[in-house]
Amino acid sequence: MITVKYFASLKAIAEKEEEQIEVQSSISMDQLSDIISKTSPKMADIIRDNKIMISVNQEMADADTVIHDGDEVAFLPPFSGGS
Amino acid sequence: MMGMKWHFFHLFLVDLKTKGNVMSTTTESKIRIQLENFSVSDEIETMKKVSRNIGGITTFLGTGRELSKGQNIAQLNFEHYPKMAEKKLEEIRQQAIKDHGIIDMSIIHRIGPIEIGENIVLIVAVGEHRKETFVACEWAIAELKRVTPIWKRETTTHGEVWVQDTP
């Protein structure tokens, strides 16, 4: 099971804050995008276009990062903290 | 008499536990992401107690402003990625100490709804001399904006918008 989290503007696009995705083994980011595209094609496009940042287990990741069962993947739009 | 002794012992234990907590959370309390407001003067006083060698303190206080890109802002709202955001702030603190030679730093960022004029973020850099604290404080706020998963949503008369870039 992979936990996928969406933050800020991405919550409205994915129409959810979080989802659990069942996987049989480790998967690539492309494979995760394919799974997400079934319920949220627009969100999958954003992931494929590298328009956002990705973290895996709260460490910054990229399109080549392999995702394992039990991982927490988060899709992060550009940050705007501070003032 | 026994009851009184036991009561005293109990108080002693509570006191030890309290002191223990303060000691164990000293580092953690220098990095906080919280809903509630903070007192700038209290935070400075806390940092002044870190070392008797402190000779300079620089603070950055970010507050909610009314105008953004020509739009009147009614309210701000901040969201964060719990744990990851705190972890990034702690990394910034550690790097500021290591790279800029300051004695210590605290970083506090609020989340949730923020009214215009309210406190948003506070960075307190303490050092032996002013120069390193100025540099560390400026570096830390820029780094916070660059690497910390915190997002700002502005409410204007035209609706709500997530801010995607901040100067």
For residue A77, list chain B residues with Cβ-Cβ distance below 8 A.
151, 162, 164
Give residue A41's domain range.
Answer: 2-76
Task: Say how far apart CA A59 and CA A38 lie, in whole Å.
Answer: 26
3-state SS assignment for residue B136: helix
Q: What is the pLDDT of residue B158?
A: 85
In whole angstroms, give the CA distance from residue B138 to residue B143: 9
DSSP state of A67: B
Lowest mean pLDDT among A41-50, A69-78, B11-20, B106-115: B11-20
Asked if residues A13 and A19 have their Cβ atoms less than 8 Å apart, the reply is no
Chain B residues with CB under 8 Å of A83 CB are: 62-65, 120-121
Rg (alpha carbons) of chain A, rounded to whole number? 12
Q: Per residue in B62-89, pLDDT tens?
A: 999 998 878 899 999 999 999 999 999 9
The rounded percent of chain B whose pLDDT value lies above 90 is: 73
The whole-angstrom separation of Cα B119 and Cα B115 is 9
Alpha-carbon distances, residue A25 vs A3, A18, A66, B133 (angstroms): 14, 20, 10, 49
The end-to-end CA distance of chain B, in Å, is 67
Instruction: Check if the interface score ipTM surpasses 0.90.
Output: yes
CATH of the domain at A35: 3.10.20.30
Which residues on chain A place their C-beta less than 8 Å from a C-beta of chain B? 5, 7-9, 55, 58, 74, 76-83
pLDDT for res A69: 95
Query: Within an 8 Å CB–CB cutoff, is residue B144 touching chain A?
Result: yes
In a domain, A40, yes or no: yes
Position A25 in a domain: yes
**CATH domain B30-162 topology:** Aldehyde Oxidoreductase; domain 3 (3.90.1170)
Burial of B33-59, coded b for 16+ CB within 10 Å and e otherwise, reads beeeebeeeebeeebeebeeebebbbb
pLDDT of residue B24: 36
pLDDT at B25: 39
> Residue B2, class by beta-carbon neighbours within 10 Å (0-12 exposed, 13-18 middle, 19+ buried)?
exposed
pLDDT for the residue B23: 35
Region B42-70 average pLDDT: 95
Tell me which chain B residue has its CA closest to the CA of residue A83.
B62
Q: How far apart are CA A30 and CA A32, in angstroms?
A: 5
Domain ranges of chain B: 30-162
B167 vs B143 pLDDT, higher one: B143
Is B4 a residue whose pLDDT tops 70?
no
d(CA A40, CA B47): 47
Beta partners for residue B162, in sequence order: B153
Give residue B15's pLDDT band: very low, low, confident or very high (50, 70, 90).
Answer: very low
Q: Is B6 left (phi over 0), alpha (psi -120 to 50) or beta?
A: alpha
Does the pLDDT value for residue B131 go beyond 90?
A: yes
- For chain A, how many structural domains are there in total? 1
Residue A83 lies inside a defined structural domain of this protein? no
Terminal alpha carbon distance of chain A: 37
Q: Decide if A59 is inside a domain.
A: yes
Distance from CA of A14 to the nearest CA of B (A): 15
A30–chain B nearest CA distance, Å: 23
Domain membership of residue A14 (yes or no) is yes
Scan residues 57-116 of B and list those with Cβ closer than 8 Å to A: 62-65, 78-81, 83-85, 87, 109
Give the least confident one: A47-51, A73-77, B129-133: A47-51
pLDDT on residue B165: 66
Residue A47 has pLDDT above 60, yes or no: yes
